[in-house]
C-alpha cells in the first residue's frame, strides 16, 4: 500500500477506499464479539461503484459512564475542545427492549479529503434521539472534548449517500490534527494507509464513546 502524506493529513478517495476495506477486515477479524463494520458500495451519481461508498456499523449501544451534568455542560458549550483525552467506553450488541441504539457511518469528504463520521441514535420503538438526548449519553470526557475543541463540533447535515439528516462531526479541522497526529506517532513518515483509519477513529471515536482496539494498530 502507498504511504499517507503526513504533510497534509489528508488522503485521496482511492486511498480512503483501500484503507476502509483493510480497516473493516481487521476490525472484524480481531473483534468477534463486536458488530462488524461493513462497506456499502454506492455512488453520489446514482450508479453503484465498488470503490466509492461508506463504512457502516449499525444497531449498537454505547456503554458509557453517565454524568448527570453532561447535558447542562453541553448546552453551555461554545463548540470548542481538547484532543488529548481517553475513554473507557466500548460498543456491544444490544438486545434490551429499552436500549438506545446507534448507527455509525464513515464516508469520504471530497471537499476536505478526509473521512467523516455520521451518526444517529434511536429508541427501541424506532424514534430518533434528539441531539440533547445524544449529548446526555456521551462519556464525561467527550463532553470536555466538545466543549474545548478547536478541531471538531457536532452538527446536523445531509448524509452524502442517503440524503437524510444525520449528526456529524464537522471535518473542517481533520486534516490539520491528523497531520499532527501522524507526524507525532512512532510511524512517522512511514505511516501507511492501514494505520490511517484506526489513527483517525482513535480520536474521533472518543467523542461518541467508541474505543479502537489496540489490535488494529498492529501492522500485518
Q: What are the two backbone dihedrals, phi and then psi, of residue 167, each rounded to the nearest 5 degrees?
A: -80, 150
Give the Å distances, CA to CA, from 8 to 12, 37, 141, 178, 189: 11, 27, 28, 8, 12
Give the span between the Cα atoms of 91 and 80, in whole angstroms: 26
Sign of CA dihedral 85, 160, 162, 44: negative
Give the span between the Cα atoms of 10 and 8, in whole angstroms: 5
Catalytic residue, chosen from 42, 77, 127, 172, is 172
Q: Could you tell me the three cell numbers for 179?
A: 497531520
172 among known catalytic residues? yes
Give the span between the Cα atoms of 220 and 202, in whole angstroms: 19
The candidate with the shortest Cα–Cα distance to 112, out of 2, 11, 3, 6, is 11
* Residue found under cell 450508479: 47
Give the span between the Cα atoms of 37 and 195, in whole angstroms: 16
Catalytic residues, by residue number, are 172
Amino acid at each position: 500500500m502507498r504511504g499517507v502524506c503526513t504533510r497534509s493529513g489528508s488522503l485521496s478517495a482511492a486511498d480512503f477506499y483501500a484503507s476502509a476495506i483493510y480497516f473493516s477486515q481487521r476490525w472484524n477479524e480481531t473483534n468477534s464479539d463486536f458488530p462488524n463494520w461493513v462497506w456499502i458500495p454506492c455512488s453520489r451519481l446514482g450508479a453503484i461503484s465498488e470503490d466509492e461508498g461508506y463504512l457502516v456499523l449499525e444497531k449498537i449501544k454505547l456503554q458509557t459512564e453517565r454524568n448527570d451534568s453532561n447535558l447542562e455542560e453541553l448546552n453551555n458549550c461554545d463548540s470548542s475542545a481538547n484532543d488529548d483525552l481517553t475513554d473507557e467506553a466500548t460498543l456491544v450488541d444490544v438486545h434490551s427492549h429499552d436500549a438506545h441504539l446507534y448507527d455509525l457511518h464513515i464516508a469520504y469528504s471530497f471537499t476536505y479529503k478526509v473521512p467523516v463520521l455520521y451518526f444517529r441514535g434511536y429508541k427501541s420503538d424506532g424514534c430518533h434521539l434528539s441531539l440533547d438526548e445524544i449529548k446526555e449519553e456521551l462519556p464525561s470526557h467527550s463532553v470536555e472534548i466538545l466543549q474545548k475543541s478547536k478541531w471538531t463540533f457536532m452538527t446536523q447535515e445531509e448524509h452524502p449517500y442517503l440524503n437524510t439528516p444525520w449528526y456529524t462531526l464537522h471535518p473542517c479541522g481533520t486534516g490539520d490534527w491528523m497531520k499532527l497526529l501522524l507526524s507525532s506517532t512512532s510511524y512517522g513518515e512511514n505511516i501507511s494507509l492501514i494505520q490511517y483509519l484506526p489513527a483517525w477513529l482513535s480520536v474521533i471515536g472518543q467523542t461518541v464513546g467508541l474505543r479502537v482496539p489496540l489490535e488494529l494498530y498492529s501492522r500485518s
